[in-house]
């Protein structure tokens, strides 16, 4: 164990020596005073919106989406993959506005969510528990939060099969082993668990999963498939396809965003350049895509058939902007500046009236116009809880850029 941990420290050192210098890289980017002031005022508006949402939320439920036509707030139980985003957003907002009501509401939701630490039926525990309890523990470290997160990492790890070398995403029939690109987002919890417990098994699972995902989930142009189905006995790829995208060979916008964010975290946590390059390749696919619109809020799928009339996905923009604001710190020179500028354009667009809801509207959600699952005709062009979470995270990252 000791040697494993010193290996991690050595890797961090190698990262530093090989040109990764966040302090130096970050100083290349100057935030725009105009945009920073808009975003600060957006945080105040978001705070007010979450008071609206809070009042609409039935006891014991988690917010999920909103349908304006019949003023209907969609909710879920704590076991839905999105349950961590509302408490996580409340905590990000509390951190920046110091509104104690939001902290009280976040704590109420953490109480409802806590039992999911033992949920072994989902791969989404990173989303559910790290976005919520991870932020709670970051702001107010406690033995209880730590234990919840460690138990969550243990539950998530039970879904890793060494024969396949990946965490199982969706439960399926016995002859299938389904992994989706979204799963890259659940690995940050595992890195945290190794740092806190000293148990390297979490770290190794994350790295093995990420390596096999690089190998099997990406096309030569670095766009990713949504779903890969493996043979559960041999780990061979049986099928590559989509579920939430337009077509098996299309680039579903949020999937690209999950991959970008996931490999940026992989680099942060390992300092392995291979992950940095993967994240940069994904970023370049997004930013050079001829179907990325001028305001840089992606269509729900980069290959949607009815572009330019296809729905936009604000959630894809939020996740991408937040990831780019971290990736640019690890990327020196013009390329890093390009990532920073793209994130700025996304934030500028999201904070415009086109995407940002007027206070009191939109069911209390901050952003309009996301797409959940278009092929299933579910959550199309609605506010979604994760669009808000990554938007507020991106604002925080932008305002913290020195
Ligand atoms: N499956 C998670 C998502 O919709 O991005």
DSSP secondary structure letters along 301-336: BTT-TTTTSSPB-HHHHHHHHHHHHHHGGG--HHHH
Contact 136, 145 (CB under 8 A): yes
Rounded to whole angstroms, the Cα distance separating 354 from 108 reads 32
Q: Sign of the C-alpha dihedral, residues 249, 253, 255, 258? A: positive
Choose among 266, 190, 259: nearest CA to 15: 266
Rounded to whole angstroms, the Cα distance separating 72 from 364 reads 11
Contact 286, 292 (CB under 8 A): yes
Alpha carbons within 13 A on the beta-carbon side of 271: 16
Q: Provide the pairing of β-strand 227-230 with 237-241.
A: antiparallel
Contact 137, 149 (CB under 8 A): yes
Our mutation pick for probing the ligand 1 site, out of 225, 245, 313, 372, counting the most ligand atoms within 8 A of Cβ, is 372
Peptide bond into 135 cis (omega under 30): no
In tens, the pLDDT along 206-227 reads 999 999 999 999 999 999 999 9
SS3 of residue 351 by DSSP: coil
Q: What is the pLDDT of residue 223?
A: 98
For residue 264, is it left (φ>0), alpha (ψ between -120 and 50) or beta? alpha
Residue 182 annotated in active site: yes
Contact 279, 267 (CB under 8 A): yes
- Rounded to the nearest angstrom, the distance between the alpha carbon of 297 and the centre of ligand 1 is 17
**For the chain, what is the total number of helices (H) and then of strands (E)?**
15, 9
For 293, the token pair is 């619109």
Choose among 245, 210, 248: nearest CA to 229: 248
Q: Provide the pairing of β-strand 237-241 with 370-373.
A: unpaired
CA angle 52, 55, 56 (to 5 degrees): 90
Q: What is the pLDDT of residue 297?
A: 99
Residue 124 annotated in active site: yes
Task: Give residue 29's pLDDT band: very low, low, confident or very high (50, 70, 90).
Answer: confident
What stretch of H or E contains 74?
Answer: strand 72-76
Q: What are phi and psi of 227, to 5 degrees?
A: -125, 130
Task: Give residue 19's pLDDT band: very low, low, confident or very high (50, 70, 90).
Answer: very low
Rounded to whole angstroms, the Cα distance separating 235 from 227 reads 14
In tens, the pLDDT along 263-294 reads 999 999 999 999 999 999 999 999 999 999 99
Mean pLDDT of 38-60: 98
Task: Give residue 248's pLDDT band: very low, low, confident or very high (50, 70, 90).
Answer: very high
Q: Tell me the pTM.
A: 0.94
Rounded to whole angstroms, the Cα distance separating 118 from 143 reads 17
Residue 371 bridge partners (DSSP): 380
SS3 of residue 38 by DSSP: helix
In tens, the pLDDT along 109-162 reads 999 999 999 999 999 999 999 999 999 999 999 999 999 999 999 999 999 999
CA distances to 46, 152, 225 from 113, in Å: 23, 11, 31
Our mutation pick for probing the ligand 1 site, out of 122, 182, 320, 385, counting the most ligand atoms within 8 A of Cβ, is 182
Q: What is the DSSP letter of 94?
A: H
Alpha carbons within 13 A on the beta-carbon side of 42: 28
Matching residue, tokens 């995208």: 245
Mean pLDDT of 376-396: 98
Residue located nearest, by CA, to atom 1 of ligand 1:
182
SS3 of residue 17 by DSSP: helix
Q: DSSP secondary structure string, 199-257?
A: -HHHHHHHHHHHHHHHHHHB-TTS-B-SEEEE-TTT--EEEEE-SSSSSTTS-BHHHHH
Catalytic entry in 182, 301, 313, 388: 182
Q: Could you tell me how far CA 175 lies from the centroid of its own chain?
A: 29
Catalytic entry in 124, 301, 313, 388: 124
- Rounded to the nearest angstrom, the distance between the alpha carbon of 41 and the centre of ligand 1 is 29
């Amino acid at each position: 164990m000791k040697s494993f941990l010193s290996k991690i420290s050595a890797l961090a050192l190698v990262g530093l020596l090989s040109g990764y210098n966040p302090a130096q890289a970050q100083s290349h980017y100057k935030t725009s005073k105009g945009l920073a002031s808009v975003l600060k005022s957006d945080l105040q508006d978001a705070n007010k919106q979450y008071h609206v949402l809070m009042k609409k939320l039935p006891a014991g439920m988690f917010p999920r989406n909103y349908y304006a036509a019949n003023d209907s707030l969609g909710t879920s139980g704590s076991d839905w993959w999105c349950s961590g985003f509302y408490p996580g957003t409340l905590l990000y907002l509390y951190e920046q506005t110091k509104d104690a009501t939001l902290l009280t509401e976040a704590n109420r939701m953490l109480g409802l969510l806590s039992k999911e630490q033992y949920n072994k039926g989902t791969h989404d525990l990173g989303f559910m528990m790290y976005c919520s309890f991870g932020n709670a523990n970051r702001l107010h470290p406690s033995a209880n939060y730590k234990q919840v997160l460690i138990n969550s990492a243990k539950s998530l790890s039970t879904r890793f099969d060494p024969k396949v070398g990946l965490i199982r995403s969706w439960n399926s029939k016995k002859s299938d082993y389904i992994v989706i690109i979204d799963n890259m987002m659940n690995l940050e919890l595992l890195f945290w668990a190794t740092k806190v417990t000293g148990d390297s098994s979490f770290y190794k699972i994350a790295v093995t999963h990420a390596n096999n995902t690089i190998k099997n989930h990406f096309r030569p142009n670095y766009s990713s498939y949504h779903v890969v189905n493996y043979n559960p006995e041999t780990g061979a790829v049986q099928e590559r396809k989509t579920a939430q995208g337009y077509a098996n060979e299309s680039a579903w916008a949020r999937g690209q965003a999950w991959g970008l964010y996931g490999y940026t975290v992989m680099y942060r946590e390992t300092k392995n350049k291979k992950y940095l390059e993967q994240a940069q390749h994904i970023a370049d696919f997004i930013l050079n895509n001829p179907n990325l619109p001028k305001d840089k809020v992606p269509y729900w799928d980069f290959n949607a058939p009815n572009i330019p009339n296809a729905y936009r996905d604000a959630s894809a923009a939020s996740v991408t902007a937040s990831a780019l604001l971290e990736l640019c710190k690890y990327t020196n020179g013009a390329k890093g500046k390009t990532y920073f500028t793209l994130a700025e354009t996304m934030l500028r667009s999201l904070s415009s009236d086109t995407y940002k809801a007027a206070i009191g509207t939109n069911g209390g959600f901050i952003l309009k116009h996301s797409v959940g699952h278009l092929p299933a005709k579910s959550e199309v062009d609605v506010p979604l809880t994760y669009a808000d979470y990554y938007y507020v995270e991106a604002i925080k990252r932008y305002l913290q850029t020195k």
